[in-house]
Structure 1
Amino acid sequence: MHRFKDLEIWKRSRLFCSDIYKITSKFPESEKFGLTNQLRRASVSIPSNIAEGSSRKSDKDFSRFLEITLGSAYEIETQLLIAHDLKFISEHEINQLSNELAEIIKMTSRFKSTLK
């Protein structure tokens, strides 16, 4: 069992989630139940699945939750591109968020590869 609060990927993904909430608060009201909701749910999923997976008894189970985490991260990547296409976020914002997300993906993938 791993202590999720000690995991750097959990810490960074939690901060990333806050960034997503801040950026989506500027989206049009008409997107409240669309892209805003989708991005927020997917961003919450990342630290949540890391936390839930860390409580599992086997590394194999934890690894499965990290797979879900990665799926959510790629979902966010796509949604950020759509938000940029729609001019909801600037070039600077998408670059900043995409770079942090790429780091979270790399860290998660590396950590996952250490689990047996």
Structure 2
Amino acid sequence: MANIRTFHDLDVWRKAHELVLLVYKITKTFPKEELYVLVAQIRRAAISITANIVEGFRRKTLKDSLNFYRMADASLEELKYHIFLSHDLGYISDSEYNVIVSLCEEVGKLLTRWIQSQETYLNA
């Protein structure tokens, strides 16, 4: 992407935001007893991905930015586990699981490429 002025211009942020919206949609159907446990954890992990991308984007040094992008990646892994658990508990259907896992993989690839591109600048 040639002209990146705000985090909205980042493909990785836009795809991660799409993931957050999907997480909210899917977790609306979870049992009430999971609202303050698993639902809260899933939503927090999903939001953490986008929030860390945003915070990293605004950091003054590239090294500092990379720390936040790596935290976003760690939050993505946490989210994947919660999705896996939710599927095993029967809270997410097979079709929902496949869609969200596919989106997680897409976000992961974009995030990895973004981190690698920033590391290249740092090491140049």
Q: TM-score, normalised by structure 1?
A: 0.96
Aligned to 1:76: 79
Q: How big is each residue's C-alpha offset from its partner over 1:46-80, in whole Å with a ceiling of 9 and x where there is no partner? A: 11110111001111111100110001000010000
Partners of 1:14 and 1:114 lie apart in 2 by: 21
Partners of 1:111 and 1:30 lie apart in 2 by: 38
Aligned to 1:16: 19
Aligned to 1:95: 98
Mark the runs of 5 or more structure 2 residues left unpaired by the alignment: none
Report the aligned-residue RMSD.
1.2
Residue type of the alignment partner of 1:113 = Q
Partners of 2:11 and 2:113 lie apart in 1 by: 12
Partners of 1:29 and 1:87 lie apart in 2 by: 14
- Corresponding residue pairs, total: 116
Q: Report the secondary structure of 1:87's partner residue.
A: coil
Partners of 1:103 and 1:86 lie apart in 2 by: 24
Partners of 2:81 and 2:5 lie apart in 1 by: 30
Partners of 2:31 and 2:75 lie apart in 1 by: 23
Aligned to 2:32: 29
Partners of 2:111 and 2:75 lie apart in 1 by: 12
Q: Does 1:53 align with 2:52?
A: no
Q: Is the 8 A contact 1:2 1:55 kept in 2?
A: no
Q: TM-score, normalised by structure 2?
A: 0.90
Query: Whose radius of gyration is greater, 1 or 2?
Result: 2
Q: CA deviation at 1:3?
A: 2.1
Mark the runs of 5 or more structure 1 residues left unpaired by the alignment: none
Partners of 2:91 and 2:28 lie apart in 1 by: 10
